[in-house]
Structure 1
Amino acid sequence: MAQSAITWLNDLTALYTPTTSEFDAARRHRATIESRLDAFLGLHEMFEIGSLRHGTGVWSYSDADFLASLKGIQPGSPWTMLNKVKDTLQERFPTTTIVIRRPAVVCRFSDAHVEVVPAYPADAGYWIADPSDGWMKTYPKHHNQYVTDVNKKHDGAAKRLARRVKIWKYMRNVPVSSCYLEMRTAKHLDGEDTYLPLTDLYLTLKKMHDVGLASMNDPTGLGSRFGSCSSDSNRRDALSKLDTAVSRAQKAKDFYVKDDHEKAITQLKLLFNQ
């Protein structure tokens, strides 16, 4: 019997689902990073955020992400904060490549990549560097809860769909924020009563395309708007690739509805560059 399109999609998702052990090396660096930042800059807290924490990470692409809430007075420019954190960590790890990739400081250890997002506390949230410019307010704990609530509503589908959209991002080298993709996916499913894998994959991509990858309001109503890309050139590149993705996802959905799984899988392979 020929493979169904849903089975193919499930197999792809399983292939790119990280195991917990794959991130053990990155997590082992946490204690040293936390100790260094606390000693030299002062920390309120440091905790894990991002796709690994949310259960939407992609094997071999997602890093371990930590938010570091700093003590002291918030500077006028986020670059001051980012450079201080980078310099402090570089002195501790002189042979490690450490770079700034807003809003994070990325430590490229030989056995793992660790992203540290410096922040200053703001009520129940945090001020971090906006990927485009200036500061933005974020509520990672509330955002995680929002995605988790939508995920429960659809029996795990929200995180599964978010991972699939991120697989497309990485397989097609699309310069769009993973956080943006995750929140757009959750927002889409939050408004749906049922989940249909190929239909909702198509609709998630189409909705982002229809708004031109515009910044989105925080669905929790708490934080700043979520930006999609770090520059206009990246946004144009992402939109071009998204246009192709929408066409392929629609064809895959339509072939699936017609029970033509072979052609549906062909379109999915093109979508995910398999």
Structure 2
Amino acid sequence: MNALKPSFMKKKKTITPQKPSSFKDDATTSSSTSLNSSIRSTSSSMRGYDEMQCLKKISSFCKETDRDVSTHLMFRIACFHDFDFDRSKHTIITMSDSKYLGLHMEGPLSKHFGKRIVVPLPDLKARDKSNVVYLRPSRYSGTKNSQLMVDSLCYVLNDLSSTQSQCRAGVTVVVNMKKWARDNFDQEMWVKMIRILQGDLVPTKVMNVLLVDAPEEFRNVWELLEQLMPNTFYKKVNFVKQNKLGDYFKDGFHEHLPNEFKRGWLSIDEVVEDYIDLKQYNDQLVDL
């Protein structure tokens, strides 16, 4: 773990009975609605202005320091840091040329995806509208796959941060702990996974981490891992049962859930195969 929780005789006043709320004057209702709308609009405008100012500062910083950073990466980093310039600047300095931001679906990485350990779930979104990443730790075996595991998770987080709306929405990570055993536990790997999900390697907002049906043995291990997490991230981690997933997803979510869950519909094999094919094709187009 080195690599690491209260009048008397008062003159009466004539009181005019108040109209029930359902009989409010239309003018009053309209005025109130207009005011609320104006407040929301002003708040949105101010937020948009602050975001634009932050992005302008980042762009100027990159030019002044001769850093070749794409407009999208500037936005992604700024969004990850809630458009705080100082924190964004620090990430630009330390991460903009990271190898984890330029991964491609090819060679050993594409073969590792074939192990069905990590994959985004198409068409499934959490109640907060974040995209969903699916993890199956029981399929991970040994330290020899450690770097490929890091690369595959970073690749998926990059993929789900490819648009501004995705950057704002973030991701929810669903970890299916079925059949997990101590043999699947690699301390160094889990430490790296926690770092990745906190944004240490790639700037993607993680909204929730759902550990589904985790065995007692894993909970004991998790008590040790908790010591590595800041409180802000710790609050995002939830141990849940399959029948409670509806608390995080909208009705009908089962048809977009892997059939490795009791009511899931999707074939995980097909999801993974389709993902590999699609990303290999897309990555080749980028290279042209």
- Give TM-score scaled by structure 2 length: 0.27
| TM score, norm. by length of structure 1 | 0.28
Higher-Rg member (1/2):
2
Please state which structure has a larger fraction of its residues in strand: 1
